[in-house]
Each structure stands twice: as structure tokens, then as C-alpha cells.
Chain A
Amino acid sequence: MRGRPGLVTAYRRDMSILPTTTQRVWFFSFCIVVAGLTFFLSDDLASRGASAAAAAIGAIGLNLVTGWAGQISLGHAFFLGVGAYTAAALGGESGGPLIGLGLEMWIWLPAAGLVAALTGLLVAPIAFRLRGLYLAFVTLGLVFIGEHIFREWDSLTGGIGVGRATAKPVLFGYDLSKEGSFAGFTLSPEQQYYLFALIVLLVMALFAKNLVRSRTGRAFSAIRDRDIAAEIMGIHLSRSKLIAFTVSSFYAGVAGALIYTFIGFVEPRTFSLTLSIVYIAMILIGGAASIMGSIMGAVFITFLPRIVDLVAGVVPFIEESPSGGFLTVVQVEQILFGLLIVVFLIVEPLGLHGVWIRIRNYWKAWPFSY
């Protein structure tokens, strides 16, 4: 029996993220294809891809606190903002009218995460006594407070309607925002952003995956499912919630720093309730309590405008110009957005990840239906 392919004889193998050889082969091929796309994507697609990868980091963060630990947070936009502005302050051009220290990326990227995490740590205690809708309301307040600070703190954010340039993506003297070359290929800034965001996403997704499959993540799930039973098992509820909020905010901070650095510009009104809801939509559509789902949801939501544009080219009554026609692209986008949340909640609560599992299981058993 030993040596039969697929026979697991050690707990270490059984407990690894990719226990079977098939899964490993598929996963690494997938990674190579996605990374290889760097060289073939147009700048527009690469830039969207970079945003999607960065948004996926933020979505993983929200999923940790909401999907795993079950603490509904509407305050994610605030932490994204904290990350974006920390990055802008530390990595922005120095000597201008706005706060900017001109530091390198290896400082400002972790710092953006850490400052956001610290903010999360300070905010977490409100989750000790509240849960469900009440917690959602209080974290909603956080967004309003954040928005106010971002609007008023002109020397940091540039103020409403003005905004500011964000951090310079310079890593050990290498400027990602300038054209570079790799293995004979010329890489545009967008392509470099894409590749960089993928690497950060891979590292952070791996960390999150490890977190949720071990002691800490199990405690999160336990709190979500049965908090009293969890406490009787010896889980320190407050400490676990604190960890969930802190780690989640760290992810949001890094995501915020990356997204707006790639765009190159940030305006204080960005970090509104709508942005929080976009992230909630990502994890609902992608799949709650799933790393792969968070990534799928982020990619889907980020590429939604692109998809709508494509549809608008085919369907006659959707106009691309904002004023004309029966429906504009933006309107369709918003309708789809709402519709998708509702449809996924009703039809597939496990999200895109659930759809994927179902397809996979179907093909596993093919041609049999059971």
C-alpha cells in the first residue's frame, strides 16, 4: 500500500496547504502563468491587475476579521486610508507644501501596514462588547471620523478636491514608476506594478493562510461560530478579537498604500463608506472565510468596469459617454454591483470560491453525477 500515489502517511503532508501532487502542480503552473502575464498584458490591463492584486490584500484582511472572526467591520475604508496616507507621508516627495519624507518603499510599505495595524489595535476594544449589527454601526462611525480627519488635515491630504501625489515606489534605488527591463523584455511601470503587487500578495496570502489554518485562525472561527463555547475551550475572546482587528488593519494599510501609489494620486473623499462596501462585496462575492475567495472577489470587482465596458460595446442601449443613451456604463456598473451582492447572498453564499469548489467536484466525479 505504501507508495501508492495520493496515500498520505504523515500528518505533516496531510496538513500542508497543498497536500497532493496534483494540487501542487496546478498551483505552481497557475502562479507561473499569472506572473508570466506580466510580459504580455497591455498597460491598461496590467494596471488593473496590479490594483486587483493590491485590493486582494485588502480583501484578505477584511475576510480575516469578518469572514473568520465574524466581526462585521464597515471601517475597512478608514484603514485603507490610514495606509495610503502613511505611505504618502513617508514616501512622498520631501520639500513640498505637503508632508513628505521621501523614504524608500521598504520603509513606507511595512510602515503603512504597521500604522494601520496600530490604529486597528486602538479601535479593537469596541469589538469586545459589541457584535453583529452594533459593531457594524460603530465601525461605520469610524469611517465618518476618518473622512473628517482626511478632509481637514490639509497638510497631509491636500484637502477636498485637491488631493496629493502619493509615495514614490522606489525599492533599493530601483524606481518602479520608470520603465525597466527584465530578461530582455522592456517592462512598463504598469507591468512592474503588476509583478510587484503579485509578489506582495503571494507573501501576504501565504501568511494569512498559515494564520487561519493554525491556532490563531481556529480561535477566530470558534468566536464566529460560538463565542461562549470558545471561551469555555480556553480562548481569550478579547485577545483574539484584538489580533483579528490588528492583522486585518495591517493588510488594509498595505493594500491602501499599494493601490494609491500605483494610481499616483489620492483624494480624501475616496475613503468613504462606499469603499468599505466595495470590500464587503469582494468578500461576499468571492467567498467568506476563504483566502482564494478573497482574491477571486477582488479580481472580479476590480475588473467589473472592464467587463461592463466590453458589454457596452455589444449591447446597443448602453452608452459609454456619461450623458447619453438609455443607460450609461457607470449606471450599469452600479446596478450590477448591487445585483451581484444580492444574487450571491441568495444563490451562492459561499461565493465564487463555492462555485469553483462545485465545478471542481463535478469534474472530479465526471462522467458520473455523484
Chain B
Amino acid sequence: MTERLLDVEDLHLSFAGVIAIDGVDFHVDEGELFAIIGPNGAGKTSIFNCLNGVYRPQRGSITFGGKNVVRMKPNKVAQLGIARTFQNIELFENLTVLDNILLGRHLHFTYGPLAAGIYAGRARKQEIANRAKAEDIIDFLEIPAYRKSLVGMLPYGIQKRVELGRALAMEPRLLLLDEPVAGMNVEETEDIARFILDIKDELGVAMILVEHDMGLVMDIADRVMVLDFGRKIADGAPDVVQRDPEVIRAYLGEEFHSTELHSAEIEAAEAAIRGKGSS
């Protein structure tokens, strides 16, 4: 049995009476690719925000690598090794790709502001060493042509890659991916899927994937958890979860009776939900 990396128990989060997460339990093992799916507003991103320390859950525990991260500030959580990408790109848009990725490596620098201003010895050595690491990531994500471009000017698909690169640059133990292929075409989705699998196989980083693209989730995830209105309604291997009647009901409503769920139909349902402007 593999090592347990993350353990979430009985997580509760509400905003002034609106319940976002209602008693969710799950765990992620070392090197595992765990997916969270669910309709919009199910609480997927809220779970990420709790893991990151951005939100403070009212109840429950989050144990990461043996440490309780509830009530920890986001920068402390980052030190433990949780990195993240965002649903709506949160890059530093006035900086270059290189600077964004170097910012991902912020914790790998140890010199202070005085050394920075003098920029000799340790500071210079660390800058150069980290630049080399950042270049490795740029190579890995196949974006060397953009390294000195301002992120804000880049196309959406590339920005998504840069954001993945920035998170990877932290050399995390757990990577949270919030809709990494949202809004992408088939080729771009395939590229990202390849990167995710490479991260898993070559770097052995555990990941939690929140994604609406069912095809992708079912293809690459080791385990899937389904949320609806802040509650966990199913949990298990992808092929088991997609036959679960509860899941089908949550996604497509009571009327739908098919036992096999096709990603095209889910996307249609998704599109209908999104059309109401809930995200």
C-alpha cells in the first residue's frame, strides 16, 4: 500500500448561511491522480481554497504529510508543498513567463533584500541556479519561444501552460489543478493531458484534478470523487463512478435513464448549466 499524503475529514465550509462544503471526506495517496467532479457550485474550488489556506473551514481536519493545515496561512501551506493552478488564470500578467515561473520558485531562494540589492555571491548564484531549473520547466511544457513574453499578451492556451509551469516550479508534493483544460480545443486538451501524465509518471507528484471534461477525467484519473451541493455522492474508480445512478441523476436530472454516460451528453448538460451564468 502506498503512503497516505492528504487526509480530509468531515470538511464543513459555509458563507453566512450558504453551505459550500457539507461534511466531505477524502484522501489522496502519494503519487496518485485524484479527480473531483461535480456540477457548477458543487464546492470543488472551495475545497481547493480550504486546502490552500485561502478559506478557513468551520469544521473538519485537513492533514497533509502528517501536519494539520487548517488555519495555516497560504504561504505556510505553500512551504509544506501544496501548489495550485486556478480556474480563471491568476498569472502575474505584467511579468514575463520566466518571471512567473521564477515566482513559483520563490521558496527555493533564501537570500534577503540586502543581498538582492547587491546581487553578488549567493544571490547571483541562486538566481542562476533557479533560472536553469525554470528553463527545465519551460522545456518540459514546450513554451521556450515565449520565455521572455509578457504573460498578459499570450494566448489563453499558453497562459494555462504557464500557470501549470508556475505551480510545477514550486516542486510540490501535491498539485491542485483547477480546470486545466477549460475552454481548450481537442489538441490543447491532449497536450495538457500528456503533461499531467508526465508529471505523474516522471515526477511522481500527487495531483487533485477538478475538471468538467469528463473524457479527460475518466481517461487519466486513478480515482474520482463526485460532489453535488457540497456533499460527496460517489467515490471510486472512474468506470465505477460513471455508472453510479446518483451521479447520473446529479448531472442529468431525474428524467435521464441511461446507464452509460457519454461525455458528449455530459458536456451538453454542462453547457446548459453554464449557460445560466452560474460560473
Contact = CB atoms under 8 A, between A and B. Distances in A.
Nearest to A246: B113
Given A207-B118, A232-B84, A234-B170, A214 B127 contact: yes
Nearest to A225: B92
The residue in B94, B118, B124, B131 that gathers the most chain A C-beta atoms within 10 A of its C-beta is B94
Interface residues of A, number: 32
Contacts of B109: 215
B102 to A, nearest CB: 6
Nearest to B132: A11
Contacts of B103: 218-219, 222, 230, 233, 235
A247 B113 contact: yes
A221 interface: yes
Nearest to B123: A214
Contacts of A229: 86, 90-92
A289 B118 contact: no
A228 B91 CA distance: 11
Interface in A206-247: 207-208, 210-211, 213-219, 221-222, 224-226, 228-237, 243, 247
B207 to A, nearest CB: 16
B273 interface: no
A126 B111 CA distance: 26
A207 B79 contact: no
Interface string B69-99: 0000111011100011010001111110001
B73 A231 contact: yes
B116 interface: yes
A214 B54 CA distance: 26
B80 to A, nearest CB: 10
A314 interface: no
A4 interface: no
A346 interface: no
A233 B104 contact: yes
Contacts of A207: 117-118
B116 A221 contact: no
Contact of B78 (A211, A217, A225, A233): A233
B119 interface: yes
B106 A235 contact: yes
A344 B148 CA distance: 26
Given A207-B118, A210-B116, A211-B116, A234 B92 contact: no
B242 interface: no
Main SS at interface, chain B: helix
B90 A226 contact: yes
A129 interface: no
B117 A228 contact: no
A272 to B, nearest CB: 30
The residue in B75, B104, B131 that gathers the most chain A C-beta atoms within 10 A of its C-beta is B75
A166 B78 CA distance: 50
Contacts of B166: 233
A2 interface: no
A32 interface: no
B45 interface: no
A234 B107 contact: yes
Contact of A12 (B90, B123, B128, B135): B128
Contact of B95 (A208, A214, A225, A231): A225
B78 A234 contact: yes
Contacts of B75: 231-237
Nearest to A68: B94
A221 B102 contact: no
B199 to A, nearest CB: 18
A237 B106 CA distance: 13
Interface of A: 11-12, 15, 207-208, 210-211, 213-219, 221-222, 224-226, 228-237, 243, 247, 289
24 contacts: A11-B131, A15-B127, A207-B117, A210-B118, A214-B111, A214-B127, A216-B116, A216-B117, A222-B103, A225-B91, A226-B91, A226-B92, A228-B90, A231-B54, A231-B73, A231-B75, A232-B74, A232-B75, A232-B83, A232-B84, A233-B103, A235-B75, A237-B75, A243-B113
Enumerate the 4 nearest inter-chain pairs by beta-carbon distance, A residue then B residue, closest first: A234-B78, A210-B119, A225-B92, A229-B90
Interface of B: 52, 54, 73-75, 77-79, 83-84, 86, 90-95, 99, 102-104, 106-107, 109, 111-113, 116-119, 123-124, 126-128, 131-132, 135, 166, 170
